């Protein structure tokens, strides 16, 4: 688990990490990256201990990054960026993601722990309501289907008179 520090800035739009320090800088459309974390492949290698090419057999395999601060945890999907916009050790989050890491008084976190995340909580707590609801409804449907299958199997062997 890697710990990075946050230094607040008045522009309040997006985080980037330079030498382990997160700073806020401007971003064009924050909602485009609300469920994602932007970082270069060097930072990806540092967190996941592997390169994106060897991370899975599929190029579309989702890599999830976990951010922890002030007792709050968020999961964001990895999205690579070119080194022209970012330095090798930058990490960018949307303002909404930063706000979710605030403490009870609304203060931005001073330190954030960054580590490899799990895919299930990423979808369960996704910032996009449509994805979050479809994940939860899918799980409920799966459980009801398994329950129906079990009741159907029991009725084959045991007669209810």
Predicted confidence (pLDDT) per residue in 56-112, tens digit: 555 567 889 898 888 889 999 887 776 555 666 667 777 778 888 888 887 777 778
115 and 161: one domain?
A: no
Pair 35, 128: CB distance under 8 Å:
yes
Q: pLDDT at position 13, please?
A: 44
107 shares its domain with 62 = yes
Look-up: residue for tokens 């976190």?
Answer: 109
> Are 59 and 89 in the same domain?
yes
Distance CA 115, CA 121 (A): 14
Q: Can you list the positions of beta strands (E) in 1-154?
A: 2-7, 14-18, 21-25, 36-39, 64-69, 72-80, 91-92, 111-116
- Does one domain contain both 41 and 79? yes
82 and 161 share a domain?
no
Percentage of residues in the chain having pLDDT higher than 70: 66
Contacts of 146 (CB under 8 A, 6+ apart): none
Mean pLDDT of the chain: 76
Residues 80 and 151 in one domain: no
Domain of residue 151, residue span: 128-161
Number of domains in the chain: 2
pLDDT at 11 over 50: no
Please check whether residues 27 and 83 belong to one and the same domain: yes
Label residues 27-64 b or e (16+ Cβ within 10 Å = b): beebeebbbbbbbbbebbeebbeeeeeebeeeeeeebb
135 shares a domain with 82: no
Task: Examine the domain organization and report whether 138 and 112 are in the same domain.
Answer: no
Residue 105 shares a structural domain with residue 137? no
Identify which of 150, 147, 119 has the alpha carbon closest to the alpha carbon of residue 135: 119
What's the pTM? 0.73
């Amino acid at each position: 688990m890697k710990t990075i520090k946050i230094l607040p800035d008045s522009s309040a739009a997006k985080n980037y990490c330079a030498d382990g320090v997160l700073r806020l800088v401007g971003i064009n459309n924050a909602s485009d990256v609300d469920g994602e974390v932007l970082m270069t492949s060097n930072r990806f290698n540092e967190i996941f201990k592997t390169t994106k090419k060897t991370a899975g057999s599929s190029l579309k395999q989702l890599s999830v990054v976990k951010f922890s601060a002030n007792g709050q945890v968020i999961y964001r999907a990895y999205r690579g960026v070119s080194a022209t916009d970012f330095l090798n050790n930058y990490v960018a989050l949307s303002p909404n993601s930063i706000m979710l890491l605030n403490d009870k008084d609304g203060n931005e976190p001073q330190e954030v722990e960054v580590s490899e995340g799990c895919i299930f909580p990423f979808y369960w707590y996704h910032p996009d309501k449509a994805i979050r609801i479809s994940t939860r409804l899918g799980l409920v449907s799966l459980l009801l289907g398994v329950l129906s299958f079990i009741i159907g199997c029991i009725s084959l062997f045991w007669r209810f008179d």
